[in-house]
């Protein structure tokens, strides 16, 4: 099975949100190997591709597990899940927007799940949040069946990628450090055999070292809780925009 066949069988969300952060996290470990790869025999290269295909499949559960492990802590630090906060009377939306949104959400989820009043929320925020979370689950399930929600899917992928990347951050920084050490070792080994170093090798090692440094900077400076939070809020806002998309065969809200 070739790598292309494996990639073709992988779901878009699984690739972007779960496998991609693992690949980026572990990529520095492959850089020392890439530094000496031109000297490999064709058989060794083929075996490396087979191993890569297997690693991509193993990466999927790893990426999700690391992200899910920290998600509850993130929601607590943010004051609650963004999609829940947007339905709260005490949330960040202005009154006009909130009343309209809650009216539409109530129409969609039905009377079997009444949204809490302002007083009910004030008296029992935990219970109210449980209702809002359930309403969000209904909206997400509805959105998957609607046309015109591709942007929501993209925001979902982006949030999943950032969350899972944050879960892998410590591993990624360690891998970048190990990769840098490996590149130094590969260069020292190449210079020790007395055959001299070609200009092409110097350019390759320089490019690989720059890539490793760039990856380290990305994981250290960019992959932070605030980076994940921004994506979570964008996804939540996009989710609630779907309340204006009618169900199949139903006119849009306010249409004659």
Give the whole-angstrom CA distance, residue 138 versus residue 243.
11
Give the whole-angstrom CA distance, residue 148 versus residue 151.
8
Indicate whether 252 belongs to any domain. Answer: no
Indicate whether 251 belongs to any domain. Answer: no
Considering the domain architecture, whether residues 194 and 224 belong to the same structural domain is answered as: yes
The confidence band for 10, taking pLDDT boundaries of 50, 70 and 90, is: low
More confident position, 42 or 229: 229
Give the whole-angstrom CA distance, residue 159 versus residue 153.
10
Q: What are phi and psi of 199, to 5 degrees?
A: -60, -35
At residue 256, does pLDDT exceed 50? no
Q: Classify residue 116 as left (phi > 0), alpha (psi -120 to 50) or beta.
A: beta
Indicate whether 205 belongs to any domain. Answer: yes
Considering the domain architecture, whether residues 166 and 70 belong to the same structural domain is answered as: yes
- Taking each helix axis from N to C terminus, what angle separates 199-217 and 20-36, rounded to the nearest 10 degrees? 160
- Let me know: does 172 contact 223? Beta carbons within 8 Å: yes
| Contacts of residue 197, Cβ cutoff 8 Å, sequence gap at least 6 | 187, 190, 191
Indicate whether 14 belongs to any domain. Answer: yes
- Taking alpha carbons only, the member of 150, 167, 155 closest to residue 18 is 167
Considering the domain architecture, whether residues 160 and 42 belong to the same structural domain is answered as: yes
Q: Which domain holds residue 142?
A: 82-148+234-244
Number of structural domains (the chain) is 2
Question: Tens digit of pLDDT for each residue in 114-154?
Answer: 999 999 999 999 999 999 999 999 999 999 889 888 999 99
Torsion of CA 157, 162, 163, 168, to 10 degrees: 120
DSSP state of 88: S
Percent of the chain at pLDDT > 70 equals 78
More confident position, 73 or 200: 73
pTM value? 0.83
Indicate whether 256 belongs to any domain. Answer: no
- Residue 36 is predicted with a pLDDT of 66
Question: Tens digit of pLDDT for each residue in 59-107?
Answer: 667 778 888 999 999 999 999 999 999 999 999 999 999 999 999 999 9
pLDDT mean over 219-239: 97
């Amino acid at each position: 099975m070739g790598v292309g066949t494996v990639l073709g069988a992988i779901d878009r969300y699984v690739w972007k949100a779960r496998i991609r952060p693992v690949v980026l996290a572990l990529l520095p470990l492959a850089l020392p190997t890439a530094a000496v790869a031109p000297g490999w025999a064709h058989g060794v290269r083929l075996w490396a591709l087979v191993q890569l295909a297997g690693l991509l499949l193993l990466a999927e559960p790893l990426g999700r597990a690391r992200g899910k492990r920290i998600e509850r802590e993130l929601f607590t630090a943010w004051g609650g899940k963004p999609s829940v906060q947007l339905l709260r009377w005490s949330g960040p939306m202005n009154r006009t927007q909130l009343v309209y949104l809650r009216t539409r959400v109530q129409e969609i989820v039905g009377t079997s799940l009444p949204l809490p009043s302002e007083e009910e929320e004030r008296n029992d925020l935990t219970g109210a949040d449980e209702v809002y979370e359930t309403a969000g689950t209904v909206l997400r399930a509805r959105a998957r069946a609607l046309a015109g929600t591709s942007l929501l899917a993209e925001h979902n992928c982006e949030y999943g990628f950032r969350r899972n990347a944050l879960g892998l951050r410590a591993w990624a920084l360690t891998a970048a450090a190990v990769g840098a050490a490996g590149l130094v070792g590969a260069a020292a080994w190449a210079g020790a055999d007395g055959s001299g170093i070609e200009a092409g090798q110097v350019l390759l090692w320089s490019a690989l070292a720059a890539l490793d440094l760039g990856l380290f900077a990305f994981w250290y400076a960019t992959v932070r809780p605030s980076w994940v939070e921004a994506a979570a809020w964008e996804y939540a806002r996009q989710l609630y925009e779907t309340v204006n998309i009618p169900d199949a065969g139903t006119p849009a809200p306010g249409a004659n």
